[in-house]
Structure formats: C-alpha cells, structure tokens
Amino acid sequence: MSASRETHVVIFCLLLVAAALAFYNPIIHNQFIDFDDSSYILKNSQVQRGLTWDTVKWSFTTFRDGNWHPLTWLSHALDCQLFRLNPVGHHYTNLLLHAVNAVLLFLLLRRATGFTWPSLVVAALFALHPVNVESVAWAAERKNVLSMFFFLLALHAYDRYARTGGRHLYWLVTVCFALGLMAKPQIVTLPFVLLLWDYWPLQRMDTGSWGGGSNAALTPRSFSFLVWEKWPLFVLAAADSVITVIAQRAGNTVRTFLEVSGSARLENVFVSYVRYLGKACWPSRLAPMYPHQGNLLRAWQVVGAAALLLLLSVLVLRWRDRRYLAVGWFWFLGTLVPMIGVITVGEQAMADRYAYLPFIGLFVAVVWALGAVASECRIPSAWRASAAVLVVCILGCLTYRQLGHWRDDETLWRYTLSVTERNYMAHNNLALALAKQGRSDEAVFQFRAAKALHQYPADQILALAFYELRVGHPQEAIEECNTVLRTSADPKVQAAAWSELGQAHLQLRHYDQAAESYQNALRLSPENGMALMGSGVLALGQGQPDVAVTQLAHAAKVDPSDLNFLLLAQALRRAGRAAEADAASAQAQKISPDLSQAQIAAGQFLGFVGLQLQ
C-alpha cells in the first residue's frame, strides 16, 4: 500500500471514530438503567470489588442471570475499579468499543474485498444506525460490543490465515473465537460465517464466476475441506451452546412450550425476521422490549412474512454472479438463528441488540448492490458520495435522538409504552422507577396496568401489595396477599405474604388478624424483619413494652434500618430504659442523619395502634 493510501485509510478510521463519538455524545448524560444494570453492576458486590482473584474465580464459575460470560463480568469489574459507579465511564467504555468495532469492520472489508468506499459506507452504517443504540447505551450490553470486538479480530486473523496458510494464525482465530464466546454466545455462528467468507470475498470455495472480490488468486478448496478445516471452531461452538443452555436453565430464563407453544414460536420467527428488515430500512419506534405476541399474530402476517423471506432467498441465489448478495443475506439469516426465538429466552419477541451482528450482512449486501447498480447506470461518483453522506448523517441524527430515550428509567419506559402495545414489562419497570422516586400512587397505577396484561408471579404480586400499602389501600393489599397464599407453596414467599397481610390488617386496625398473620410469618421465617417489627408495634399498643423491646431489638438486628431503631427507642422509653432508648436513637441518627422520613413512618406505625411518637 502506498504512503498516500495509508494516509487515507488512517483518516477514514479517524473519521469513523469521530462520527461515533459525536453522534453518541448524549450518552454522557445517561444514568444506569434498572433493567439488568442493577444485577450486573449496581447490586453486584462481586463486580464492584474490581479485578481481584476472587472476582476472576467467580466470573468463570457463576451462572448469574442465566449467563456464562466471564470476560464480560471481568470487563465490568475493571470499569468499577476505574470509575466506581459513575455511569459515564461505563457507558464510554461501551462507546469506545463500538467505535473500535466500526474501524475493525472497515479495515476487514477493505482488505478482504479490495474496495475502500463501499467498506467505509458499511462501517459508517454500522457505527451510526440507531438500531445499535441499545447495544451501546445499555451498560449491561457490554457483552454485545465486547463479543463483536473478538468476532472481528477472529475474522481479521482468518483473512490473513487464508492468504498465508500460517498455522499460528489459525490458532489465533480459535483464541479470538473462544474469548468472544466468553463475552457473549451470540457469535456462536462464526464457523458458518467463515464458510460464507470463503465463498465471498475470499473465494476459496470453488472456481465459479468472479464475484467482485480481490482474491481470485487464492487456491480454491472443496466445500468438505473448508468444513473440516474449521472443526476446532465447531467444537467450541457446540461446547459453548451446551454451557449456554445449562446457564439459562439455571437462571430459569428459558420459557417452556406451555408458556410459548411451538406454533407460536415458529410464527414469531417468520414475522420477526421481516420486522428486523423493517427496522433496518426504517429505524423508527425502536424499543428495549418488544413483547411476545403469542397466538395474537394473524395468518396473513405469518404467511406474508414467510413468502417474502422465501422470495428474497430465491432472488439472491438466482443472482449467483453477485456473490455478495448471497453472503450478506445468509449472514443476516444465519447469525440471527440463535436469537430468533426457536429457543425462547425471556419475554421479548425480538430485540434491537440481537441485530448488532446480523445487520452487517444486510449492510454489505445493500451497499455492494447499490454500488454495482450505480456503476452500471454510470452515476457520477460525487452523486454517490453525496447520497451516502446524507443517509449516514440522517441515521446519525436518529441515533442522537434515540440516545435521549435512554437517559433514565422513567424516560426509557414511558417512551417504550408510547411505541409498543400490551407491554406489561414496560408498565412494570416504569412502576419500579416511580416507586424508587417515592411516587407510590403512580407506581400502583402502572403495577395494575402490568397485572392486567400478564399473570404475575407471586413475588411480583407481593411487590404490588407492598405499594398498595404505601398508598393506603390495605384492602387491595389483602386481596393480593391472599392470592399469593393460594398460589405459592414456597415457604419464603408465603412468609413474606403473611407479613404483608399483617401490615394490611394493622392499617385497618384489625389487631387480632394482624397478630395471627405475624405469627404465621414468623413460624415460617423467624428472621422476617417486617413481622418482627409489626409484632413489636402491636405489643406496644397492647401495653406490653418489654415484649415490644424483644421483638423490635430482633427486628433491628435482622434489618438495622433507621426506622427499626427509632421504633426500638420508643419501646425502650415506654419500658423505662431511657439510656438504652437514647443509644437506639443515636444509632438511627448514625444510619440516617436526616431522620424526617423515618420519623414519619414510625409515627404512622404507632398511630395504627393508637400511640404517638415521643
């Protein structure tokens, strides 16, 4: 490569990075999202310890959240060590990885095909298409951008191996593939992608007609040779697939055929493929959660989607002289297979993050096809470049706007409800965001909306009962708790339901029912802090301060909160133990210097039994 061309390549790489950083700039204002970010970072004490030997061992042995991705855990631990819990650092790591991925994609395509401008356009589309916002703006999706990094490195190594035959380069492919799988199993289809890469642009597969690449001099190989050549990669892919299934079953994330029938899964496959095509061409109404429609899809939608996929497949196979069409199309179809929903994981029918790798195939097919048409029609290069810049800038502006929807939990889930229908998870997550802000009335409304769309599990029904109590709806909370007691056999869940039931009866001043509920809770779980606190407050109301002290001291030991220590101080004062009461009050002050909220809550609890805060 001449010095002038090398300079141009460097400039193009810098332009890709600059464009990504510019259009993704709003990410510096975004917070963590309480949707996997909590489990991955905010409430993960192991990750927050940073890169310790214990964290390394934990990362390789845990199936937390139904995943086995040790490299992802280690990258989050490194971020915590560098940035602690400042979201800007975590988000910027994602962004830098995304920008590097765009550069790697450009360099890969340029070397493999020999064409600079189409390669640059594909990389720019990848960098700035708004469907990729989810993979970058969501801290928990570090696994997506990190696995893509190693996927592209593996392709780079394979390209060099195909040209030189160096065995060390093949083992470098294997190492990069293994590292990528340890970041996220989405790249499990790499061996199949390499077979497509052999077909075009490397053209190692046969001696058929030239397909627009730069590698006609490479020695053609039989299909069976090329498959056998990749046996170590197929072994890795199979092993990681088994580990992934085990991890997902351990995390109870795989939905059974009773939850989603086989016919519903197959229908969703066809429709989702077409919906992904739609998002690629017209990226609007993007959302972090597209609810599974179950059996609500209509026959014409399924038949129409299947027919369109078949038609496009026939067309790309018919145009055999344009190999990039087949490679791009089957890259898209094939790399989506692990995430398309045959094995249904989670509640979503599809997800923007799943398109991060597959859309590269679409970009390649479209850009090379349009370039060929433009050449045949003799469209001036300036017009082509202007059109490409315009499209990329429009996508960049859409990305900039989409990033604003990821600013915080409330913004994200309100937006999601505006662009999706019957989305119970959006209602539920918005409820949690509102509850965190103390807006319990609004939270209950959203919880009820979610419950109307979905059969809540027992723990979520209990969450609804908790917020019903917070807003002064004890009768509704009683109904929710009774539902849990009828439907759940889990002793821990039942104990929690009995304690919430006791709180509801306490609000209604049904003291006998409250006492019975607390006793049932403590029988199932002697360390239930809520039942201990409620029993202590009841004892105070019944003029038994010594019993109250015993119960509230136990509650403060189980849950050393400012509220429990304030209630303990009240019980000690009524038992005539002033010095100990002052010590308990001091402990409450130490936990929370501003005791206003705890004093209001303590006053409410004492008011339920006819007492006032002293």
- Helices and strands of the chain, counted as H and E runs: 30, 2
Strand pairing class (290-291; 348-350): antiparallel
Rg (CA), the chain: 29
Identify the burial level of 221 via C-beta atoms within 10 angstroms of its C-beta, where 0-12 means exposed, 13-18 middle and 19 or more buried: middle
Q: Decide if 74 contacts 51 (C-beta within 8 A).
A: yes
pLDDT at 211: 44
* Residue 212: pLDDT band with limits 50, 70, 90: very low
Q: Where do the H-state alpha helices sit in 51-189?
A: 53-61, 70-83, 87-113, 116-128, 133-137, 142-164, 167-181
pLDDT in tens, 233-289: 999 999 999 998 888 877 666 656 556 667 778 888 899 999 999 999 999 999 998
Q: Decide if 42 contacts 32 (C-beta within 8 A).
A: yes
Residue 509 has pLDDT above 80, yes or no: yes
Torsion-angle region of 166 (φ positive above 0: left; ψ -120 to 50: alpha; else: beta): beta
Report the alpha-carbon distance of residue 373 to residue 366 in Å, rounded. 10
Higher-pLDDT residue of 595, 310: 310
The mean pLDDT of 102-123, rounded to a whole number, is 97
The mean pLDDT of 345-364, rounded to a whole number, is 90
Tell me the CB-side half-sphere exposure of residue 585, using CA atoms within 13 A: 15
Bridge partners of 348, per DSSP, are 291
pLDDT at 16: 97
* Residue 346: pLDDT band with limits 50, 70, 90: low
The pTM assigned to this predicted structure is 0.85
SS3 track for 188-207: HHHHHHHHHHHHCCCCCCCC
Q: Can you tell me whether residue 349 is helix, strand or coil?
A: strand
Identify the burial level of 293 via C-beta atoms within 10 angstroms of its C-beta, where 0-12 means exposed, 13-18 middle and 19 or more buried: middle
Is the previous residue joined to 338 through a cis bond, with omega within 30 degrees of 0? no
Q: Decide if 335 contacts 357 (C-beta within 8 A).
A: yes
pLDDT at 420: 92
Phi and psi at 153, nearest 5°, equal -65, -40
pLDDT at 80: 96
Residue 436 has pLDDT above 50, yes or no: yes
Report the alpha-carbon distance of residue 462 to residue 477 in Å, rounded. 8
Picking from 529, 533, 522, 596, the residue whose alpha carbon sits closest to that of residue 570 is 533
Count, residues in the chain:
614
Percent of the chain at pLDDT > 90 equals: 57
Which segment of 58-62, 298-302, 332-336, 370-374 scores lowest on mean pLDDT? 298-302
pLDDT in tens, 448-506: 888 888 777 777 788 788 878 877 888 888 888 898 888 888 888 889 889 999 999 98
Neighbours of 219 (CB within 10 A): 7
User: What is the overall mean pLDDT for the chain?
Assistant: 89
pLDDT at 1: 54
Which segment of 178-187, 202-211, 575-584 scores lowest on mean pLDDT? 202-211
* Residue 519: pLDDT band with limits 50, 70, 90: very high
Q: Which fold has domain 423-526?
A: 1.25.40
* Residue 344: pLDDT band with limits 50, 70, 90: low
* Residue 210: pLDDT band with limits 50, 70, 90: very low
Domain range summary for the chain, segments of one domain joined by +: 3-409, 423-526, 545-614
Q: Decide if 188 contacts 240 (C-beta within 8 A).
A: yes
pLDDT at 260: 63
Residue 209 has pLDDT above 60, yes or no: no
Q: Decide if 135 contacts 151 (C-beta within 8 A).
A: no
From residue 207, alpha-carbon distances to 199, 219, 221, 384, 421 in Å are 10, 9, 9, 32, 51
Quote the tokens at residue 106: 């450009």
Torsion-angle region of 114 (φ positive above 0: left; ψ -120 to 50: alpha; else: beta): left
Neighbours of 566 (CB within 10 A): 27
pLDDT at 342: 66
Report the alpha-carbon distance of residue 595 to residue 437 in Å, rounded. 17
Bridge partners of 254, per DSSP, are 345
pLDDT in tens, 479-492: 888 988 888 888 88
Residue 79 has pLDDT above 70, yes or no: yes
Q: Can you tell me whether residue 323 is helix, strand or coil?
A: helix
Report the alpha-carbon distance of residue 73 to residue 509 in Å, rounded. 49
Q: Decide if 598 contacts 569 (C-beta within 8 A).
A: no
Dihedral (CA of 214, 188, 278, 261) sign: positive
Phi and psi at 291, nearest 5°, equal -65, 145
Residue 218 has pLDDT above 80, yes or no: no
The mean pLDDT of 95-99, rounded to a whole number, is 98
